[in-house]
Amino acid sequence: MRVSTSGMFDSGTTAILQQQEALVKTQQQLSTGRRILTPSDDPIAAAKAINLSQAASINTQYSVNRDHAVASLGLIETTLENTTSILQDIRQVVVQAGNASTLTDADRRILATELRSRFDALVGQANNTDGAGNYLFSGFQAKTPPFSRSSLDVQYNGDQGQRLNQVGAARQIAVSYSGTEIFERIKNGNGIFTTAANSTNTGGGIITAGSVTNPSSLTGQNYEITFSAGAGGLTYDVVNTSTGTTLSSGNTFVENDIIEFDGLQFSISGTPVAGDSFTVLPSTNQSIFKTVGDLITALETSAGQQGSGNARLLNNLNSALQDLDNGLEQILKARATVGSNLQEIEALNNQGSDLDIQYQKRISELRDVDFAQAISELNKQQVYLEAAQKSFSTVTRLSLFDFI
């Protein structure tokens, strides 16, 4: 076969260029540390690497979301901790005010003033923000102050929603709460029913919070215990005011004896007088602000009252103590939820870190170069290129005239 001079040159040039291209590609792999420089190098591995990179990016975004959630939940936990401290201080004031027989009018006013200061602090905590101007307890209404007040009357202005952060592929965690759930939906009394003395009582009777003896017998209806003077002494009637039915009448009153009916019980200490009455009503939701506000009012209006006035104050204080304890329990439940969420985020962070390591390892296996193999390939390609260059130089010098 006869080979033309131009064909010989073209063939040699092509061979050299191919070897140079292979050498340059290997050099680029070594300099970048990447085996796959373009998708055409390994289409399947390139596609897998892209999918894994996207998954790793999403995992990183979840980590950022978790950091934001931790910051918000940390502020909520701090706020609830401060609220707990305020309520405990208020409780101490209530216990101190319970020494009604030793309090003067000036003492009551001082305690009421102290409670007003705690009341202001309590509303302030409920209106805390996350530092970016978003209120922690206004639900979805992040820019709306959750609570507004007029003197001792506090109103909720938010909604019942919760702002959620996506902290995992299948997990969202609340980073805000409804103020209603934390500060307002608090059962008064013992959580089932509440006892109270009539505000017009003139005797010294003090009623306990009571307890449930038989849940299946509870009716959820209203009752009134009315005292009257009987032939043998003070007696009382128990009336279901919801139905107008008298459950019992002419019962002889004995201080601290258990009064029991329809699955509930309580006792009355002190000395009621004829005409005094006490109510037993189903528990309802009562905000912690109303509880503290009623306390302030009770202390401010009790000044100058003696005898029965002390009983009236003690009845109010006993009810307030029970309601404060219910409020503290509500706050503690919220803190437990926040703590549980923070613990879950910590576990998700650990899981996310492990997952990120796995993603990076798999991406490296697919995309990164094997340096030992690449260096060996580079040396081999360099030998091929030098051989191609030398052989081309030798072949191009061959000519018939060299043998003539």
Check whether 78 has a pLDDT greater than 90: yes
Assess contact for 263 and 58: CB atoms under 8 A: no
Q: State how beta strands 277-282 and 153-156 pair.
A: unpaired
Q: According to the model, what pLDDT value does residue 307 have?
A: 45
Torsional sign, CA 3, 8, 14, 18: positive
Q: CA-to-CA distance for 74 and 336, rounded, in angstroms?
A: 13
Residue type, 307: G
C-alpha of 306 from chain center: 47
Residue 125: CB atoms within 10 Å: 21
266 pLDDT more than 50: yes
Least confident interval from 11-25, 64-78, 111-125: 11-25
**Percent above pLDDT 70 for the chain:** 77
Q: Is the pLDDT of residue 258 over 90?
A: yes
User: What Å distances lie between residue 19 and 36, 66, 174, 383, CA to CA?
Assistant: 19, 52, 61, 10
Q: pLDDT-based confidence at 368, cuts 50/70/90?
A: low
The three-class DSSP label of residue 207 is strand
Q: Per-residue pLDDT averaged across 79-94, rounded? A: 95
Cβ distance 392 to 15 under 8 Å? yes
Indicate the Cα dihedral angle 247, 250, 252, 255, nearest 10°. Answer: 60
What digits encode the pLDDT tens for the residues 15-70? Answer: 666 666 665 666 666 666 666 667 666 677 777 877 888 888 998 999 999 999 99
Give dist(CA 327, CA 50) in Å, integer.
Answer: 53
Between 311 and 372, the higher pLDDT residue:
311
Average pLDDT over residues 332-353: 93
A 10 A CB-CB count for 23 gives: 17
pLDDT at 7: 62
Non-local (6+) Cβ contacts of 54 within 8 A are none
Range from 122-126, 220-224, 340-344, 389-393 carrying the lowest mean pLDDT: 389-393
Q: Measuring CA to CA, how many Å separate 371 from each of 29, 69, 383?
A: 9, 42, 18
pLDDT-derived band at 130 (thresholds 50, 70, 90) equals: confident
Tokens of 213: 């003896």
Question: What is the per-residue DSSP string for 142-160?
Answer: TTS-SEEEETTEEEE-S-S
> Tens digit of pLDDT for each residue in 191-217?
999 999 998 898 999 999 999 999 999
As given in the structure block, the two tokens for residue 34 are: 């990447």
Does the predicted model carry a pTM greater than 0.85?
no
* Euclidean distance between CA atoms 284 and 290, whole angstroms: 12
The pLDDT value given to residue 128: 94
Instruction: Take residue 262 and report the two structure tokens written for it.
Output: 């329809």
- Give the dihedral sign, CA 219/184/86/197: negative
pLDDT surpassing 90 at residue 389: no
pLDDT of residue 346 exceeding 70? yes
Which residue would you say has higher pLDDT here, 281 or 96? Answer: 281
138 contact partners, CB below 8 Å, separation of at least 6: 144, 145, 146, 157, 158, 159, 176, 178, 179
Amino acid in the structure at residue 173: I
In angstroms, what CA-CA distances link 140 with 219, 313, 391? 38, 40, 78
Element spanning 288, H or E: helix 288-301
Cα 234 to Cα 10, 207, 229, 309, distances in angstroms: 127, 16, 5, 20
Checking if the pLDDT of 246 tops 90, the result is: yes
Q: How is residue 281 annotated by DSSP? A: E
Show the DSSP H helices in 213-287 as ranges: none
For residues 371 and 348, the model is more confident at: 348
The answer to whether residue 158 scores a pLDDT higher than 70 is yes
Average pLDDT rounded to a whole number, residues 226-239: 90
Pairing of strands 264-269, 277-282: unpaired
Segment 291-303 mean pLDDT = 85
Asked if pLDDT for residue 274 goes beyond 50, the answer is: yes
Residue 189, pLDDT > 70, answer yes
User: What is d(CA 304, CA 316) in angstroms, rounded to the nearest whole number?
Assistant: 16
Q: How confident is the model at residue 304 (pLDDT cuts 50, 70, 90)?
A: very low
- Token pair 């307002």 is found at 184
Report which listed range, 7-21, 99-113, 255-269, 390-404, is most confident: 255-269
| Helix 308-367, helix 288-301: angle, nearest 10 | 160
Q: What is the mean pLDDT of residues 224-248?
A: 92
